[in-house]
Amino acid sequence: MSDIKNALDLVRSRRSVRTFDGRALSSAELDDILGFANSVETPYDLPFTWRILNAKENGLSSPVITGTDTYIAGKMVRVPCAEEAFGYAFERIVLYIQSKGIGTTWIGGTMDRAAFERAMKLGEDEVMPIVSPLGYPAARMSLRESMMRKGVKADVRLKFEELFFRDSFDTPLQEADASDLKDTLEMVQWAPSAVNKQPWRLVICGDTVHFYEKQSKGFVDGKGWDMQKIDMGIALCHFACGMEAQQRRVEFSLKDPGIPAPAGTVYIASYRIL
C-alpha cells in the first residue's frame, strides 16, 4: 500500500465475493498469492501454514460459493493470541489479493469444515479458523449473495463516535476531531467482521491507541476460542496498514493500560505511534 489514499481506496472498494465468473486463476497467480501469504508477518510472531486447495480434488464444498473451485486456507497451533494473529495475517493476504483484482470472502462456518480440515491435514493441537474462495467476481451477485449482504447490512458501518474514544470510554471521538488519524481510523471503521458486528473499540491516549473487543454472545466455542478476536486482528491489521501508508512507524504492546471499560469489553492490544 503505497499511500493512505490507495490504502483507503482498497479497503473501501473491497466487498465479500461469493459469486464468481468461472475463470480459473493461473498457476502463476496462485504461486504469487501463496508466496505472499508465506511472507506475511504479524506483531504476534506466530507461525502459520497456508495452502491453496482445489475443491474437486479434495471434496470441498460451501453452499454459499459458486463459480470457483479454488480456496486458500491457513492453519496454526491453538495458543494464546492465535485468533488475533490469524485475523491480522489473513487480512493482509486478502488485501493483497484484492489489489490484484481477485475476489475473496471470509468463511468460518458455511462450509464442509471436516473436509477442509482433512485437506489441511489438521493436527490435534492445530486450528483452521477461516478459508476463502479465490476467483474473479461475476458481473452480478446471486440472489442468495444479495440477500446475505442485505441481512447483515454489509455496506453499513457504526459511526466514528461509537467505535473511537479519546482518553476514556466516557469521551467519544468525533470524526471532525480525529486529526491526522482520521484516514487510518476510517480504515479500521471499514474493516470486515463476522456478521458485521464490528467488535473493535479504540481508545486514543496521546500517542498510543488501545484496542478493545466489545464481546457478543455466541462467538466463543467450548475450548475458549473467540471468533471475534479474529475480527480484532483484522482491525489491528487495518490500523497498521494505515500507518504504513503514511510512512509512520508503530510499536506493538500487550500491556493493559487499565482504562475502565464497559461490561463485556476487554483489552486486546495497543499501538504506540513513533
Strand order in the sheet with 250-253: 164-166, 200-205, 208-214, 265-273, 250-253
How much is the pTM? Answer: 0.94
| pLDDT mean across residues, the chain | 93
For range 246-274, the mean pLDDT: 97
The C-alpha atoms of residue 187 and residue 6 are separated, in whole angstroms, by: 11
- The residue type found at 123 is G
Does residue 2 have a pLDDT over 60? no
Give whole-number Cα distances, 152 to 6, 61, 198, in Å. Answer: 27, 23, 11
Does residue 25 have a pLDDT over 60? yes
Joined together, the cell numbers standing for residue 171 give 469521551
Angle between helix 82-99 and helix 4-13 axes, rounded to 10 deg: 100
Q: Which residues contact 113 (CB under 8 A, 6 or more apart)?
A: 128
Please tell me the total number of residues recorded for the chain in this structure. 274
Q: For the chain, what percent of residues have pLDDT higher than 90?
A: 81
In the chain, how long is the greatest CA-to-CA distance? 54
pLDDT tens per residue, range 133-149: 999 999 877 767 777 67
Strands 164-166, 200-205: parallel, antiparallel or unpaired by DSSP?
Answer: parallel
The DSSP element (H or E) to which 236 belongs, if any, is helix 227-245
pLDDT, residue 140, reads 78
> What DSSP state is assigned to residue 175?
G
Show the 3-state SS of 107-134: ECCCCCHHHHHHHCCCCCCEECCCEEEC
The answer to whether 76 and 126 have CB atoms below 8 angstroms apart is yes
Does residue 239 have a pLDDT over 80? yes
Which domains, from first to last, does the chain contain? 17-147 (3.40.109.10), 154-273 (3.40.109.30)
pLDDT, residue 151, reads 67
The C-alpha atoms of residue 55 and residue 20 are separated, in whole angstroms, by: 14
**Confidence grade of residue 218 (pLDDT, cut at 50, 70, 90):** confident
Angle between helix 227-245 and helix 4-13 axes, rounded to 10 deg: 150
